[in-house]
């Protein structure tokens, strides 16, 4: 089935997966041969999924490949829980399926319907945190719990390290509260370390990944505090409701806690294993995790804890139980309805949308948008050409053509249309000059061109090239790799701050190249000797 979905804000994040998959097919190793914004697992899963489903809609494939890891783990949890109480098993399974299936974030960056092609690995991490919390809350078998925790933490580490750290905080609480034993922790740790040691033999991938994490921390250390404030403001409804529920549960359970302390039952059994402490710690872990995310299914992994609170509330007086249920609703309903509503809204309007008018973008062209947005997208290239000086002036002053350019649906659609023209132009240029450009690089955020044209990509550079957050200064390995690259694409419709910054970062490695006009909006920087006339 050729599925076409409404394009969403910052949809070009999806193209990063094709860049990574093509590199993997060509023998490159994530973190060793190219820099990535997150861990390697997502890219290997996507490359595998693309082999089995080459005609899949890109966003759906990127979203659903995580089920190769998460579904077996969740199935083991559901099997264990269902033996005791099938209703609880269904209460864990149904939200898991909603969050796994829906390619949408909690936050909204555009008012018109569209599916979120960004923050995909963040959604994957929150889904794995959901699996981890479900296991810790409801699986009692020590060995099974240890294996589940070990494998889930391994997947979190290999997808996004901040998700791993958030899971580690929750796991520490599980250990201190007695929900998981030291023996189980040792078994889980052994599984985790054994897997990492095996992966290290794949071109030192793990040490390279750790080095890259340290590099990204150094590049972004000053942005941490503002991001805390961003999370607190954007998720205020969920955070405030969770905080009130924590305080309410602590107040309602104060007598039981005091009785436990007086009976010398110990902190682990009286305080740390209380549901309000679990909710508080998970909330803190979620806030920390979301500081490093632009888009995510924020705090969805709180549900297993909320479910445990609901089950335990059956022993409370009716008035208290009603209060608990209402507060649970205030926490769980916002993120669930936002995710489901965005997905259903996009599906509902998609039959009325216009498909991308492209022919050489393979499956990347399986997107659509409103007819009026499409009309604007088709006009933008001529506009950028006629007013190029205006956008050059804006970018020289650190300004984009509009305040939220990358969130605008017309720009995302225009980018695909422009890239389609670039692919056609490259093929025509090669045919005219009798050459074959074996390696391609793009001075822009996304570079799907090696996959679109079945070529190799420049090694030792960042995929998802954000010059302000992820692209490090030029080093010798990168300089040498760029020097060996046949052609570097230079887009300039419009000249943005990001495109300008990338050319500045790589300027030293781009010296002595022959610049040729590919079409009105794309140039090529050719390696000396590529064109017969320059040899």
Same domain, 109 and 10: yes
Same domain, 214 and 298: yes
For 462-521, what is each residue's pLDDT tens digit? 999 999 988 999 999 999 999 999 999 999 999 999 999 999 999 999 998 999 999 999
Which of 57-66, 140-149, 150-159 bottoms out in mean pLDDT, i.e. has the lowest? 140-149
Same domain, 119 and 216: yes
pLDDT (0 to 100) of residue 228:
85
Backbone phi, then psi, for 266, in 5-degree steps? Answer: 95, 155
pLDDT (0 to 100) of residue 535:
42
Spatial neighbors of 24 by CB under 8 A, at least 6 apart, are 30, 43, 44, 47
For 518-531, what is each residue's pLDDT tens digit? 999 999 999 998 88
For 47-98, what is each residue's pLDDT tens digit? 999 999 999 999 999 999 999 999 999 999 999 999 999 999 999 999 999 9
Same domain, 505 and 416: yes
**Does pLDDT of 267 surpass 70?**
no
Two structure tokens written together for 228: 């805390």
Same domain, 290 and 417: no
Two structure tokens written together for 413: 């659609």
The answer to whether residue 505 is domain-embedded is yes
pLDDT (0 to 100) of residue 229:
86
**Does pLDDT of 259 surpass 90?**
no
Helix (H, G, I), strand (E, B) or coil at 354: strand
Same domain, 326 and 386: no
**Does pLDDT of 454 surpass 50?**
yes
- Mean pLDDT over 296-319 rounds to 94
Q: Is the whole model's pTM more than 0.85, yes or no?
A: yes
Same domain, 403 and 483: yes
Which of 13-27, 256-270, 347-361, 368-382 bottoms out in mean pLDDT, i.e. has the lowest? 256-270
The answer to whether residue 375 is domain-embedded is no
DSSP state of 26: T
The answer to whether residue 48 is domain-embedded is yes
How far apart CA 333 and CA 263 sit, in angstroms, is 39
Strand order of the β-sheet with 354-355 is 5-6, 367-369, 354-355
Backbone phi, then psi, for 515, in 5-degree steps? Answer: -95, 125
The answer to whether residue 305 is domain-embedded is yes
pLDDT (0 to 100) of residue 227:
82
Same domain, 103 and 165: yes
How far apart CA 42 and CA 34 sit, in angstroms, is 14
The answer to whether residue 162 is domain-embedded is yes
**Residue 423 near residue 15, CB atoms below 8 Å:** no
For 338-391, what is each residue's pLDDT tens digit? 999 999 999 999 999 999 999 999 999 999 999 999 999 999 999 999 999 999
**Does pLDDT of 197 surpass 90?**
yes
Residue by residue, DSSP assigns 434-450 as T----EEEESSS---HH
| Domain enclosing residue 462, as ranges | 382-526
How far apart CA 529 and CA 535 sit, in angstroms, is 5
**Residue 470 near residue 219, CB atoms below 8 Å:** yes
Same domain, 190 and 322: yes
Same domain, 33 and 154: yes
**Residue 281 near residue 169, CB atoms below 8 Å:** yes
How far apart CA 6 and CA 356 sit, in angstroms, is 10
**Does pLDDT of 533 surpass 70?**
no
Q: What's the domain count of the chain?
A: 2
Going by C-alpha positions, the residue among 148, 126, 151, 125 that lies closest to residue 137 is 148
How far apart CA 305 and CA 89 sit, in angstroms, is 14
Q: Is 22 or 203 the better-scoring residue by pLDDT? A: 22
The answer to whether residue 370 is domain-embedded is no
- Mean pLDDT over 314-325 rounds to 92
Same domain, 334 and 481: no
Same domain, 424 and 480: yes
**Does pLDDT of 262 surpass 70?**
no
The answer to whether residue 257 is domain-embedded is no
Output Rg (C-alpha) for the chain, integer angstroms: 25
The answer to whether residue 465 is domain-embedded is yes
Which of 149-158, 212-221, 414-423, 427-436 bottoms out in mean pLDDT, i.e. has the lowest? 212-221
């Amino acid at each position: 089935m050729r599925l076409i979905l409404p394009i969403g804000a910052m949809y070009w994040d999806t193209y990063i997966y094709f860049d990574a998959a093509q590199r993997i097919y060509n023998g490159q190793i994530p973190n060793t041969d190219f820099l990535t914004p997150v861990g390697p697992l997502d890219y290997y899963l996507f490359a595998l999924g693309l082999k089995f489903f080459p005609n899949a809609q890109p966003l759906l494939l990127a979203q659903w490949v995580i089920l190769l890891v998460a579904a077996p783990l969740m199935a083991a949890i559901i099997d264990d829980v269902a033996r005791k109480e099938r209703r609880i098993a269904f209460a864990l399974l149904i939200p898991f399926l909603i969050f796994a299936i829906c390619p949408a974030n909690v936050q909204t960056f555009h008012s018109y319907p569209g599916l979120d092609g960004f923050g995909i690995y963040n959604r994957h991490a929150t889904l794995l945190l959901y699996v981890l919390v479900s296991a810790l809350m409801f699986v009692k078998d020590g060995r099974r719990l240890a294996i589940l925790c070990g494998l889930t933490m391994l997947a979190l580490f290999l997808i996004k390290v901040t998700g791993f750290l958030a899971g580690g905080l929750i796991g520490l609480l599980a250990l201190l509260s007695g929900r998981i034993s030291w023996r189980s922790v040792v078994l889980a740790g052994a599984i985790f370390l054994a897997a990492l040691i095996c992966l290290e033999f794949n071109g030192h991938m793990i040490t390279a990944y750790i080095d890259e994490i340290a590099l990204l921390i150094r590049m972004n250390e000053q942005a941490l505090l503002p991001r805390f404030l961003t999370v607190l403001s954007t998720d205020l409804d969920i955070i405030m409701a969770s905080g009130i529920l924590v305080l309410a549960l602590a107040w309602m359970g104060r007598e039981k806690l005091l009785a436990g302390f007086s009976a010398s039952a110990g902190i682990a059994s009286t305080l740390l294993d209380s549901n309000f402490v679990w909710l508080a710690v998970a909330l803190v872990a979620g806030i920390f995790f979301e500081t490093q995310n632009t888009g995510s299914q924020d705090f969805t992994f709180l549900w297993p804890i909320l479910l445990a609170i609901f089950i335990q509330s059956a022993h409370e007086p009716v008035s208290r139980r009603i209060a608990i249920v209402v507060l649970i609703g205030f926490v769980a309903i916002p993120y669930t309805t936002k995710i489901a509503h965005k997905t259903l809204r996009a599906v509902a309007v998609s039959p009325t949308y216009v498909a991308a008018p492209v022919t050489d973008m393979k499956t990347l062209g399986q997107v659509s948008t409103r007819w009026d947005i499409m009309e604007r997208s088709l006009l933008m290239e001529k506009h950028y050409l006629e007013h190029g000086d205006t956008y050059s002036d804006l970018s020289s002053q650190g300004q984009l053509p509009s305040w939220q350019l990358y969130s605008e649906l017309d720009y995302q659609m225009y980018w695909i249309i422009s890239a389609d023209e670039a692919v056609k132009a490259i093929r025509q240029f090669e045919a005219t000059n009798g050459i074959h450009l074996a390696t391609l690089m793009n001075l822009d955020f996304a570079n799907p061109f090696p996959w679109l044209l079945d070529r190799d990509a420049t090694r030792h550079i960042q995929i998802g090239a954000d010059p302000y957050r992820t692209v490090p200064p030029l080093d010798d390995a990168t300089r040498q790799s760029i020097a060996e690259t046949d052609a570097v694409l230079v887009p300039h419709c419009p000249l943005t701050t990001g495109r300008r910054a990338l050319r500045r970062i790589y300027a030293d490695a781009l010296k002595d190249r022959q610049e040729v006009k590919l079409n009105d909006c794309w140039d090529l920087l050719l390696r000396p000797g590529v064109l017969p006339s320059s040899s």
